[in-house]
Chain A
Amino acid sequence: MSDNILEINDLHASVEGKQILKGLSLTVKHGEVAAIMGPNGAGKSTLANVLAGRPGYTVDSGSVSYLGQNLLELETEERACAGVFLAFQYPVEIPGVNNTYFLRAALNAQRRARGEEELDSMAFLKLVRARLKALHITDDLLHRAVNEGFSGGEKKRNEVFQMAVLEPRLAILDETDSGLDIDALKIVADGVNELRSNERGFVVVTHYQRLLDHIVPDTVHVLMDGRIAKSGSSDLALRLEKEGYAWIQEELAA
């Protein structure tokens, strides 16, 4: 089996007829944390949404192989059941749907799809308590409706908590740091670090370097105008923080 959990090859994708991804290629290995950085409008969120299967995002050409299977053939829920997880940039509020009920429905749907037995509410609660403890977060989120009235920090915490319960193979974090103060950022980053393992790959989409102080990536990729313009180690993120993106543009032009 390949070392790669994710192989994206020459991916072209558009939203409402506008081409956003223009030949993007990227590989992520098992256990790797790959950071995707880039200026606004470069296509970072589009990449995250295309991988998760959001309706309205059209793949025009190229391929995405996830654990050896064609990811683009799968429905949104099939991708989730296969172990792909998107931590949303803007988690949506769903009044009337209890957070615990929702998460149990999600976990059991995934277990069913994998041919595993569903968890009853006792077993589920036990799992939830264990995950909360590992992430050092309190259980007040459990009793509320999904994201309803949550602060920005609570919403992102809820995303990481769901990730911990669902245990994906590939986690895509879409600007998880946006709108967070430093304390909330640390809680979220600690959660992600807790979940790092050789079995799991991460694609961390971020606009700012500061998240990468807390989640130290293995690789950093700069996404500009729909394709990866430069790749490097975590040092690359530091240089981008200092010097911005203009020098990459110049390098490309040279």
Chain B
Amino acid sequence: MSLVDSLLSTAPETSAGWWQQSRDAHRAIVDQHGLPDRRQENWKYTALRSLEGHQFQPVEPGLLQPEDLAQLLETHRVPPLAGSRMTFVNGHFAASLSHVDEVVGLRVSALSQLGEAVPSSASAALGAEFSRPDEGFAALNTLLASDGVLLELAGGNEPESQQVAEAPVVELLFVDVPGAAPSAPTIRNVIKIGAGASLALVERYVSAGDGVALINSLSQLELGENCRLSHVRLPQLGEARSLISRLDVRLGEASDYRCYGLDLSGTLVRHDLNVALIGEGAQASLNGVYAPRGQTHIDNHVAVDHQVRDAISSQTFKGVLSGRSRGVFNGKVVVQEGADGTDASQSNANLLLSADAEIDTKPELEIYADDVKCAHGTTVGALSGDQLFYLTARGIPESEARRMLTIGFCREVLEGIPVETVRDHAISLLTDHLQDIDA
């Protein structure tokens, strides 16, 4: 059985009325296009071979007691975080493991709680069509999604007085506890931040046990005027887990979106980060660190679309690759006609620690406006000899100096994470991961 058929066999038999129409439409799309393959430009360097040959089974909600979760989080050294938490186990909302703080204007619910009543504000996102031949996973997400978050934060906060670091925190916690059979938890999130509001969003994935799972996550984010969203994504995936994730972000006037991702593990990880700057003066800061080891494959595809004037975007991605691992970075910037005053920058720097590791990195710029500032730079290399000498000349043994520099190389990116607890956790995950690396 092909991968797509295996995944289709896990489709829910019935679903809420508001899903049904969209699901039927996407069933036709999936039947037509299937899943992407390497003949498609956007999938040239990422093959799905490692996902094939599994007989995926429908996912059970999975029973997880609060004390089990506490223990799991302790094993993953997830620090307690002040704020709201929405927990999903195997793609299904777990109310007993979730809590939502009283925050003015904040409404958080699970899609499964909505019944037949979908707020009109979310229906456009949930009904969005994914019909390009290379977006089979998004089409499949619409078909298979078992649950997800609907988060709306109404405006009214004074943007001037509220720093991102003090914004309310919402944690989305996705736990997978697969049974004996491979599973494919599929999650759909819709997040809308109203004018003037600020939020810190933490998206976590935590794996229990050793089973095979393919997580398909699609989030649609919309930021209104003058609002701020910091978004930290920390997949702590088990070795046999894969994650196909897509973010579609739309940024309104003078809004400020900052995203940080840290990918260290898993079999196959693919992120599609699509950001449309649709309001003047919007800012997007997109950052990622990846440090695959062993045979892990991590692919970051970023596409930034400057549709209006005077918007700013930056992409900063750093990778440390060892073993037989593989990394892909594709950073696309489109500056549409009339989007003058655009300031777009992109950088991707990589350290290759092993002769068997590989990175494919590609900037893509399409510029249709005249008055724009676009900078991009890509490096693939080894540690700086000058930095290494500086550390060893102070007495630090060379192996330790190499480790310090390798960690520092990535750490710099994570230091921008605004919420201190989350920043510290991300940095300690990175540090532990690279502690025994042979740099």
Contacts of A92 in B (CB 8 A): 384, 386-387, 390
A80, B394: Cβ atoms closer than 8 Å = yes
- Which of B385, B386, B400, B411 is within 8 Å of A96, CB to CB? B411
Contacts of B410 in A (CB 8 A): 96
Q: Taking chain B's interface residues, is the majority helix, strand, or loop, or is none over half, making it mixed?
A: helix
In the complex, B391 has a CB within 8 A of chain A: yes
A122→B15 CA distance, assembly (Å): 59
Contacts of B407 in A (CB 8 A): 96-97
Contacts of B401 in A (CB 8 A): 77
Contact bitstring B108-149, A, C-beta under 8 A = 1, else 0: 000000000000000000000000000000000000000000
B394, A166: Cβ atoms closer than 8 Å = yes
A95→B414 CA distance, assembly (Å): 12
B404, A86: Cβ atoms closer than 8 Å = no
A7 to chain B, nearest CB (A): 21
Of chain A, the residue at the smallest CB distance from B407 is A96
Interface residues of A in 107-127 (CB under 8 A from B): 107, 109-110, 113
A81, B395: Cβ atoms closer than 8 Å = yes
- Which of A77, A88, A95, A146 is within 8 Å of B395, CB to CB? A77
B395, A109: Cβ atoms closer than 8 Å = yes
In the complex, A136 has a CB within 8 A of chain B: no
- Residues of A within 8 Å of B, CB-based: how many? 31
B163 to chain A, nearest CB (A): 19
A146→B396 CA distance, assembly (Å): 14
Contacts of A86 in B (CB 8 A): 393
B384, A77: Cβ atoms closer than 8 Å = no
Interface residues of A in 32-86 (CB under 8 A from B): 52-56, 75-77, 79-81, 86
In the complex, A229 has a CB within 8 A of chain B: no
A94, B405: Cβ atoms closer than 8 Å = yes
In the complex, B408 has a CB within 8 A of chain A: yes
Contact bitstring B374-407, A, C-beta under 8 A = 1, else 0: 0000000000111101111111111011001101
In the complex, B370 has a CB within 8 A of chain A: no
Contact bitstring B397-437, A, C-beta under 8 A = 1, else 0: 11011001101111110010000000000000000000000
- Also in contact, A76 and B411, with CB within 8 A (given A55-B385, A97-B404, A97-B405): no
A81→B391 CA distance, assembly (Å): 12
- Also in contact, A53 and B393, with CB within 8 A (given A96-B412, A97-B408): yes
B390, A109: Cβ atoms closer than 8 Å = no
In the complex, A105 has a CB within 8 A of chain B: yes
Give the residue among B389, B395, B405, B415 with the most A Cβ atoms within 10 A. Answer: B395
Interface residues of A in 135-156 (CB under 8 A from B): 145-146
Contacts of B411 in A (CB 8 A): 96-97
- Which of B393, B400, B415 is within 8 Å of A76, CB to CB? B393
B235 to chain A, nearest CB (A): 22
In the complex, A206 has a CB within 8 A of chain B: no
Of chain A, the residue at the smallest CB distance from B410 is A96
- Which of B385, B387, B396 is within 8 Å of A109, CB to CB? B396
B398, A77: Cβ atoms closer than 8 Å = yes
A80→B400 CA distance, assembly (Å): 15
- Also in contact, A109 and B408, with CB within 8 A (given A52-B393, A96-B415): no
A80, B393: Cβ atoms closer than 8 Å = yes
A105→B399 CA distance, assembly (Å): 13
In the complex, A100 has a CB within 8 A of chain B: no
Contacts of A76 in B (CB 8 A): 389, 392-393, 398
A110, B387: Cβ atoms closer than 8 Å = no
- Which of A56, A91, A145 is within 8 Å of B412, CB to CB? A145
A51 to chain B, nearest CB (A): 10
A166→B395 CA distance, assembly (Å): 10
Of chain B, the residue at the smallest CB distance from A111 is B395
Give the residue among A76, A88, A146, A162 with the most B Cβ atoms within 10 A. Answer: A76
B408, A96: Cβ atoms closer than 8 Å = yes
B412, A77: Cβ atoms closer than 8 Å = no
A77→B410 CA distance, assembly (Å): 24
A96, B409: Cβ atoms closer than 8 Å = yes
Of chain B, the residue at the smallest CB distance from A97 is B408
A166→B394 CA distance, assembly (Å): 8
Q: Apart from A106-B391, A106-B394, A166-B395, what are 16 other A-B pairs with CB-CB below 8 Å? A: A52-B393, A76-B389, A76-B393, A77-B393, A77-B401, A80-B394, A80-B395, A92-B387, A94-B408, A96-B409, A97-B404, A105-B400, A106-B396, A109-B396, A109-B400, A145-B412
Can you list 18 pairs linking A and B with CB atoms under 8 Å apart? A53-B392, A54-B389, A75-B392, A76-B393, A77-B393, A77-B395, A77-B398, A80-B395, A86-B393, A94-B390, A94-B405, A94-B408, A97-B411, A102-B396, A106-B395, A109-B394, A109-B395, A110-B395
Residues of B within 8 A of A (CB): 384-387, 389-398, 400-401, 404-405, 407-412, 415
Going nearest first, the 3 A-B pairs with the smallest beta carbon separation are A96-B408, A80-B395, A96-B412
